[in-house]
Amino acid sequence: MAIENGILTRGGAVKGKRPLLLGSSAAMEAVRYFIDQVAASTATCLITGPSGSGKEIAARTLHALSDRANGPMISVNCGAIPAELIESELFGHEKGAFTGAAGTRIGRFEAAHGGTIFLDEIGDMPLEMQVKLLRVLEERRFERVGGNKSIAVDVRVVAATHRDLQERIADGSFREDLFYRLNIFPIHLPSLQARRDDVPELAAHFAAEFGNGSPAFALSPSALEALVAYDWPGNVRELRNWAERASVLYRGKEVDAAGTQFLLSLGRMRAQIDAGEAVTPLARSAEQVPAMPASVPAVPTMPAAPNNVTALPFLKDRAPEAVAVAAQRTMDVTTNEAAPMPRAEEMLGSGKVNLKKILQDLEVEFIESALIRTGHTVSEAAKMLGLQRTTLCEKMRKYGFERKDALQQASATA
């Protein structure tokens, strides 16, 4: 196995056109070694690692190096499909199997025949579906929903999760027998924090990617030091996002340490805004945000926050009483502690409030925050909110949320 121009090769032959599993650290060398060893077999693999560490890229690498490389690779996010649709999505359905089933439809396993099926976020699969998946892994056969014909399938199964499945087994949300069926060959991807030495190589690669082959920006030694020192809670995905921001704001320029921190602060600010905490980063003065170098033309400095949070544009459609709640919930960036909720008598000072609107706005805010904090994993957001998954899905439809997963596609094709 070798790395040629950033592309993982086996026996000297480049199997794919896109860079795969970059990094020269000992941890990544071990990952590549294990993938190379298991690729030629048909063994089921379980890829673990934190979100953003590259589990899907590892799965695609494994497929590209296998004898099934010319066959299909079908990816399924098990946590993104509603429990009532996942069986039909995986195994297909016959005409008339349920309301709306106007014709026969093949599932993901059938579509992956002769290739690889990648079951991402396997730890979020509903328990009742785990039983059916276990049977397919044991027999390599299944029936479509509404059918009684047993269909044989030749498919390699690769699963992935960022969760601790042993903990899931202990709390009863994951089957132990399924775990052992999946964990025939485990591959663990380390966090980027655990392989800091790979950060310069990855940053250079992403700079070239966003520059269409030539670096979109340069990095000063102090910038590299800052990047290596950062903990990267979002792992490689977060570093790639950082590089994309740099390619926009620093194209053709050099990023220094201050610019590095500025770009990192933009990423954190967006996450807080999406989580309904926009007043937190905006409450900082412009002087607290790293300034852009004078060498970068036409880049505005960060605006100072309005003194009154009711002037913030994203609150313009909220009920006045809900805006008051948002103002009270502003977090002090120096302590990261939330102010207490206002008391009811304070809000009733005007003599009249729209309680229904207040509760709806707060419900929307909590749903937004839960989705962001769980990486838009609906099942986890539901647990965080103390709701059933189906209840949360209904509320998301009610409030017009755009789902960042396969729900809409699954609903349309079922």
Distance CA 93, CA 366 (A): 36
CB 110 within 8 Å of CB 52: no
pLDDT at 100: 76
Residue 103, Cα to own-chain centre: how many angstroms?
Answer: 33
User: Which residues touch 357 (CB under 8 Å, ≥6 apart)?
Assistant: 319, 321, 322
User: Which residues touch 5 (CB under 8 Å, ≥6 apart)?
Assistant: 19
Q: Judge if 302 and 344 occupy the same domain.
A: yes
3-state secondary structure of 188: strand
C-alpha dihedral sign at 259, 261, 262, 266: positive
Q: Judge if 124 and 201 occupy the same domain.
A: no
Q: End of a domain among 190, 209, 234?
A: 190
pLDDT at 1: 37
Q: End of a domain among 142, 175, 190?
A: 190
Structure tokens at 213: 């082959």
Q: Judge if 164 and 215 occupy the same domain.
A: no
**Longest distance between any two alpha carbons in the chain, whole Å:** 78
Mean pLDDT, consecutive 10-residue stretches, the chain (414 aa), reads 35 42 93 94 96 95 94 94 91 82 88 97 95 95 90 96 96 96 97 96 94 90 96 95 94 93 82 48 38 45 42 46 46 38 55 73 83 82 86 83 49 42
Structure tokens at 130: 């785990």
Structure tokens at 402: 């755009």
Q: End of a domain among 166, 190, 214?
A: 190
Q: Judge if 86 and 56 occupy the same domain.
A: yes
Structural domains in the chain (count) = 2
Q: Judge if 291 and 230 occupy the same domain.
A: yes
pLDDT at 253: 93
Cα distances from 97 to residues 103, 265, 391, 413, in angstroms, run 9, 51, 24, 14
3-state per-residue secondary structure call for 202-224: HHHHHHHHCCCCCCCCEECHHHH
Structure tokens at 305: 């926050």
Q: Judge if 140 and 288 occupy the same domain.
A: no
Q: Judge if 206 and 306 occupy the same domain.
A: yes
- For residue 172, give the CATH number of its domain: 3.40.50.300
Task: Give residue 62's identity as a one-letter amino acid code.
Answer: L
Q: Judge if 208 and 333 occupy the same domain.
A: yes
Q: Judge if 91 and 205 occupy the same domain.
A: no
The length of the chain is 414
Q: How many CA atoms lie within 13 A of 255 on its CB side?
A: 30
Tell me which residue range forms the domain holding 365: 197-413
Distance CA 365, CA 369 (A): 6
Residue 108, Cα to own-chain centre: how many angstroms?
Answer: 21
pLDDT at 102: 77
Distance CA 32, CA 21 (A): 8
Q: pTM for the complete prediction?
A: 0.64
CB 45 within 8 Å of CB 55: no
List the one residue out of 388, 377, 411 whose CA is nearest residue 161: 377
